[in-house]
């Protein structure tokens, strides 16, 4: 479940979500929210996403973060124009 604040994340985990995606959090907000989710629901997978680039990746890593998504890997990928003619 994609969440934009700690209250949403706790509600989603409490409702049975297996994975909680903390989207567009600052690193400080992210670690605080992830700690709250893991304290209340230790088996929930916590994913960090939004605004993560290679230069800031280390700021999003922490003991309560299980997965980090980096959209920059696909946002800037060049397109390949090809055709298959039979």
Give me the number of domains the chain comprises: 1
Residue 23 domain-assigned?
yes
Residue 79 domain-assigned?
no
Residue 78 domain-assigned?
no
Distance CA 73, CA 66 (A): 19
- DSSP annotation of 49: E
Do 36 and 11 meet the contact criterion of CB atoms below 8 Å apart? no
* Both structure tokens of 62: 């922490």
Residue-wise pLDDT for 25-66, tens only, equals 999 999 999 999 999 999 999 999 998 988 999 999 999 999
Cα angle: 69, vertex 35, 43; to 5 degrees: 75
Please give the model's pTM, rounded to 2 decimal places. Answer: 0.81
Which residues form the domain of 20? 2-73
Distance CA 70, CA 51 (A): 8
Residues in the chain: 86
């Amino acid at each position: 479940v994609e969440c934009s604040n700690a209250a949403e994340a706790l509600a989603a985990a409490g409702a049975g979500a297996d994975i909680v995606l903390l989207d567009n959090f600052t690193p400080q907000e992210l670690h605080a929210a992830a700690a709250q989710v893991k304290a209340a629901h230790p088996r929930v997978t916590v994913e960090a996403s939004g605004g993560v680039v290679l230069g800031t990746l280390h700021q999003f890593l922490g003991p309560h973060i299980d997965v980090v998504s980096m959209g920059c890997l696909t946002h800037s990928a060049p397109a390949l124009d090809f055709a298959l003619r039979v």
